[in-house]
A and B are shown apart, each in its own frame.
Chain A
Amino acid sequence: GAGVSQSPSNKVTEKGKDVELRCDPISGHTALYWYRQRLGQGLEFLIYFQGNSAPDKSGLPSDRFSAERTGESVSTLTIQRTQQEDSAVYLCASSRRRNTGELFFGEGSRLTVL
Protein backbone atom coordinates (compact mmCIF):
# COMPACT_ATOMS: atom_id res chain seq x y z
CA GLY A 1 0.00 0.00 0.00
CA ALA A 2 0.93 3.63 -0.20
CA GLY A 3 1.42 4.12 3.50
CA VAL A 4 1.47 2.36 6.86
CA SER A 5 -1.92 0.87 7.57
CA GLN A 6 -3.20 0.26 11.09
CA SER A 7 -6.34 -1.43 12.36
CA PRO A 8 -8.60 -0.98 14.11
CA SER A 9 -8.57 2.82 14.03
CA ASN A 10 -10.62 2.89 17.23
CA LYS A 11 -11.09 0.27 19.90
CA VAL A 12 -13.14 0.52 23.08
CA THR A 13 -12.75 -2.33 25.51
CA GLU A 14 -13.48 -3.19 29.08
CA LYS A 15 -10.82 -3.43 31.71
CA GLY A 16 -9.38 -6.91 31.87
CA LYS A 17 -10.02 -7.81 28.22
CA ASP A 18 -7.26 -8.59 25.73
CA VAL A 19 -6.82 -6.47 22.60
CA GLU A 20 -4.86 -6.99 19.40
CA LEU A 21 -3.69 -4.15 17.19
CA ARG A 22 -2.44 -4.68 13.65
CA CYS A 23 0.12 -2.84 11.54
CA ASP A 24 0.84 -3.30 7.86
CA PRO A 25 4.07 -1.44 6.99
CA ILE A 26 5.10 0.11 3.71
CA SER A 27 6.21 -2.56 1.28
CA GLY A 28 9.99 -2.92 1.26
CA HIS A 29 10.51 -1.30 4.64
CA THR A 30 12.60 -3.62 6.75
CA ALA A 31 12.24 -1.81 10.08
CA LEU A 32 9.01 -1.57 12.05
CA TYR A 33 8.34 0.32 15.28
CA TRP A 34 5.52 0.60 17.77
CA TYR A 35 5.08 3.78 19.81
CA ARG A 36 2.46 4.80 22.33
CA GLN A 37 1.08 8.32 22.60
CA ARG A 38 -0.85 9.06 25.75
CA LEU A 39 -2.86 12.26 26.11
CA GLY A 40 -0.56 15.20 26.74
CA GLN A 41 2.55 13.04 26.50
CA GLY A 42 5.25 12.53 23.93
CA LEU A 43 5.56 9.37 21.92
CA GLU A 44 6.94 6.47 23.96
CA PHE A 45 9.00 3.82 22.22
CA LEU A 46 7.61 0.30 22.74
CA ILE A 47 9.32 -2.17 20.41
CA TYR A 48 11.44 -2.34 17.26
CA PHE A 49 11.73 -5.05 14.59
CA GLN A 50 14.47 -5.18 11.97
CA GLY A 51 14.36 -7.99 9.44
CA ASN A 52 15.03 -11.34 11.03
CA SER A 53 16.99 -9.92 13.96
CA ALA A 54 15.74 -10.32 17.51
CA PRO A 55 13.35 -7.47 18.30
CA ASP A 56 14.24 -4.73 20.76
CA LYS A 57 11.50 -5.04 23.39
CA SER A 58 13.08 -2.67 25.88
CA GLY A 59 10.21 -0.17 25.73
CA LEU A 60 7.38 -2.56 26.55
CA PRO A 61 5.93 -1.28 29.85
CA SER A 62 4.93 -4.65 31.30
CA ASP A 63 4.65 -8.35 30.48
CA ARG A 64 1.03 -7.73 29.51
CA PHE A 65 2.37 -6.23 26.29
CA SER A 66 3.76 -8.36 23.48
CA ALA A 67 4.30 -7.97 19.77
CA GLU A 68 5.04 -10.18 16.83
CA ARG A 69 6.07 -9.63 13.26
CA THR A 70 5.88 -12.07 10.40
CA GLY A 71 9.06 -11.67 8.36
CA GLU A 72 9.16 -8.14 7.01
CA SER A 73 5.42 -7.68 6.85
CA VAL A 74 2.49 -7.42 9.23
CA SER A 75 2.96 -6.88 12.95
CA THR A 76 0.50 -7.32 15.80
CA LEU A 77 0.70 -5.68 19.21
CA THR A 78 -1.21 -7.56 21.91
CA ILE A 79 -2.20 -6.11 25.26
CA GLN A 80 -3.48 -8.65 27.76
CA ARG A 81 -5.72 -7.87 30.72
CA THR A 82 -6.05 -4.24 29.70
CA GLN A 83 -5.94 -1.51 32.33
CA GLN A 84 -7.29 2.03 32.15
CA GLU A 85 -3.77 3.41 31.96
CA ASP A 86 -3.34 1.52 28.67
CA SER A 87 -5.72 4.02 27.03
CA ALA A 88 -3.67 5.76 24.35
CA VAL A 89 -3.04 6.00 20.64
CA TYR A 90 -0.77 3.20 19.50
CA LEU A 91 1.29 4.27 16.51
CA CYS A 92 3.13 1.99 14.15
CA ALA A 93 5.93 3.22 11.92
CA SER A 94 8.21 1.70 9.34
CA SER A 95 11.43 2.80 7.69
CA ARG A 96 13.75 1.75 4.90
CA ARG A 97 16.93 1.90 6.87
CA ARG A 98 17.81 1.42 10.48
CA ASN A 99 20.04 4.37 11.14
CA THR A 100 17.86 7.35 10.34
CA GLY A 101 15.01 9.16 11.96
CA GLU A 102 12.86 9.01 8.86
CA LEU A 103 9.99 7.01 10.22
CA PHE A 104 6.74 6.75 8.30
CA PHE A 105 3.83 6.56 10.72
CA GLY A 106 0.37 5.14 10.37
CA GLU A 107 -2.65 7.02 11.68
CA GLY A 108 -2.69 5.00 14.86
CA SER A 109 -5.09 2.80 16.78
CA ARG A 110 -6.95 4.74 19.46
CA LEU A 111 -7.53 2.45 22.44
CA THR A 112 -9.98 3.33 25.20
CA VAL A 113 -10.18 1.05 28.23
CA LEU A 114 -13.31 1.58 30.31
Chain B
Amino acid sequence: QKEVEQDPGPLSVPEGAIVSLNCTYSNSAFQYFMWYRQYSRKGPELLMYTYSSGNKEDGRFTAQVDKSSKYISLFIRDSQPSDSATYLCAMSEQGGGSNYKLTFGKGTLLTVNP
Protein backbone atom coordinates (compact mmCIF):
# COMPACT_ATOMS: atom_id res chain seq x y z
CA GLN B 1 0.00 0.00 0.00
CA LYS B 2 1.36 3.41 -1.01
CA GLU B 3 1.63 6.04 1.70
CA VAL B 4 -0.74 8.37 -0.13
CA GLU B 5 -3.49 7.22 -2.47
CA GLN B 6 -5.23 9.59 -4.86
CA ASP B 7 -7.63 8.74 -7.67
CA PRO B 8 -5.91 9.97 -10.85
CA GLY B 9 -9.21 10.56 -12.66
CA PRO B 10 -9.61 12.11 -15.13
CA LEU B 11 -12.55 14.03 -13.73
CA SER B 12 -14.70 16.09 -16.09
CA VAL B 13 -17.43 18.42 -14.81
CA PRO B 14 -19.58 21.24 -16.22
CA GLU B 15 -18.88 24.83 -15.27
CA GLY B 16 -20.51 25.75 -11.97
CA ALA B 17 -20.38 22.23 -10.54
CA ILE B 18 -19.09 21.38 -7.09
CA VAL B 19 -15.94 19.30 -7.32
CA SER B 20 -14.74 16.91 -4.66
CA LEU B 21 -11.15 15.65 -4.68
CA ASN B 22 -9.86 13.16 -2.15
CA CYS B 23 -6.79 11.43 -0.80
CA THR B 24 -6.28 8.68 1.72
CA TYR B 25 -3.07 7.97 3.56
CA SER B 26 -1.58 5.32 5.79
CA ASN B 27 1.07 7.17 7.82
CA SER B 28 -0.54 8.34 11.07
CA ALA B 29 2.43 10.66 11.69
CA PHE B 30 1.29 13.03 8.96
CA GLN B 31 0.17 16.31 10.53
CA TYR B 32 0.48 18.88 7.75
CA PHE B 33 -1.77 18.59 4.72
CA MET B 34 -1.62 20.53 1.51
CA TRP B 35 -3.25 20.77 -1.87
CA TYR B 36 -1.22 21.89 -4.82
CA ARG B 37 -2.54 22.81 -8.26
CA GLN B 38 -0.46 22.08 -11.34
CA TYR B 39 -1.29 23.45 -14.76
CA SER B 40 0.02 21.62 -17.80
CA ARG B 41 3.79 21.95 -18.17
CA LYS B 42 4.05 24.16 -15.10
CA GLY B 43 5.32 23.56 -11.58
CA PRO B 44 2.84 22.89 -8.77
CA GLU B 45 1.59 25.88 -6.78
CA LEU B 46 0.27 25.75 -3.23
CA LEU B 47 -3.49 26.09 -3.05
CA MET B 48 -4.43 25.16 0.51
CA TYR B 49 -2.49 24.35 3.66
CA THR B 50 -3.95 22.87 6.84
CA TYR B 51 -2.53 21.59 10.07
CA SER B 52 -4.08 18.55 11.77
CA SER B 53 -7.82 17.86 11.54
CA GLY B 54 -10.53 20.31 10.61
CA ASN B 55 -11.73 22.52 7.80
CA LYS B 56 -10.23 25.51 6.10
CA GLU B 57 -11.99 27.74 3.60
CA ASP B 58 -10.47 30.14 1.09
CA GLY B 59 -12.87 31.64 -1.41
CA ARG B 60 -14.34 28.87 -3.53
CA PHE B 61 -11.99 26.27 -2.03
CA THR B 62 -12.51 24.25 1.15
CA ALA B 63 -10.01 21.75 2.52
CA GLN B 64 -11.06 19.10 5.02
CA VAL B 65 -8.88 16.78 7.04
CA ASP B 66 -10.19 13.77 8.95
CA LYS B 67 -7.21 12.25 10.72
CA SER B 68 -9.28 9.51 12.36
CA SER B 69 -10.14 8.19 8.89
CA LYS B 70 -6.81 9.24 7.33
CA TYR B 71 -8.78 11.05 4.66
CA ILE B 72 -8.45 14.52 3.20
CA SER B 73 -10.65 16.36 0.74
CA LEU B 74 -10.65 19.48 -1.38
CA PHE B 75 -13.95 20.97 -2.47
CA ILE B 76 -14.23 23.50 -5.26
CA ARG B 77 -17.50 25.44 -5.44
CA ASP B 78 -18.80 27.12 -8.60
CA SER B 79 -16.01 25.51 -10.63
CA GLN B 80 -14.60 27.52 -13.52
CA PRO B 81 -12.78 26.46 -16.71
CA SER B 82 -9.68 28.12 -15.24
CA ASP B 83 -9.78 25.48 -12.48
CA SER B 84 -8.86 22.84 -15.08
CA ALA B 85 -5.56 21.43 -13.83
CA THR B 86 -4.05 18.52 -11.94
CA TYR B 87 -4.63 18.66 -8.20
CA LEU B 88 -2.01 17.07 -5.98
CA CYS B 89 -2.47 16.31 -2.34
CA ALA B 90 0.66 16.41 -0.20
CA MET B 91 1.43 15.78 3.44
CA SER B 92 4.26 15.76 5.90
CA GLU B 93 5.04 14.65 9.44
CA GLN B 94 5.05 16.91 12.46
CA GLY B 95 8.14 18.23 14.13
CA GLY B 96 11.69 17.05 14.03
CA GLY B 97 13.71 17.28 10.87
CA SER B 98 11.51 15.31 8.56
CA ASN B 99 8.39 17.38 8.15
CA TYR B 100 9.80 19.22 5.17
CA LYS B 101 9.77 16.01 3.17
CA LEU B 102 6.42 16.17 1.44
CA THR B 103 4.77 12.97 0.29
CA PHE B 104 2.58 13.58 -2.73
CA GLY B 105 -0.37 11.77 -4.23
CA LYS B 106 -0.27 11.03 -7.95
CA GLY B 107 -2.63 13.89 -8.71
CA THR B 108 -6.17 14.10 -10.11
CA LEU B 109 -6.64 15.63 -13.55
CA LEU B 110 -9.69 17.91 -13.51
CA THR B 111 -11.37 19.42 -16.56
CA VAL B 112 -14.15 22.00 -16.15
CA ASN B 113 -16.16 22.35 -19.33
CA PRO B 114 -17.72 25.71 -20.27
Q: Which residues of A contact B (CB under 8 A)?
A: 4, 31, 33, 35, 40-43, 45, 48, 50, 56, 59, 91, 93, 95, 98-108
Pair A45/B101 contact, Cβ less than 8 Å = yes
> In the complex the two chains form, what is the Cα distance from A4 to B103 in whole Å?
21
Which residues of chain B are near A4, meaning CB under 8 Å?
43
A107 touches B92 (CB 8 A): no
Q: State the B residues within 8 Å of A (CB).
A: 4, 6, 8, 32-34, 41-46, 49, 88, 90-92, 95, 97, 99-107
Chain A residues within 8 Å of B45, by CB? 104-105
| A93 and B43 contact, Cβ closer than 8 Å, known pairs A42-B105, A42-B107, A101-B90 | yes
Assess A48 versus B101: contact at CB under 8 Å? Given A42-B107, A101-B32, A107-B41.
yes
Give the nearest-CB partner of B100 in chain A. Answer: A98
Residues of A with C-beta under 8 A to B104: 35, 42-43
Nearest CB in chain B: distance from A23 CB, A: 11
10 contacts between A and B (CB under 8 A): A33-B100, A43-B44, A43-B88, A93-B43, A99-B100, A101-B32, A101-B33, A102-B49, A103-B44, A104-B46
Bound Cα distance A100, B101 (Å): 10
CA distance A91 to B107 in the complex (A): 15
In the bound assembly, the distance between CA atoms of A48 and B92 in angstroms comes to 14
Instruction: Chain B residues near A42: list those with CB within 8 A.
Output: 4, 6, 88, 103-107
> Which 5 pairs across A and B sit closest by C-beta, in order of nearness?
A105-B43, A42-B104, A43-B104, A101-B34, A42-B106
Instruction: Report the separation of the CA atoms of residues A59 and B49 in the bound assembly, to the nearest whole angstrom.
Output: 24
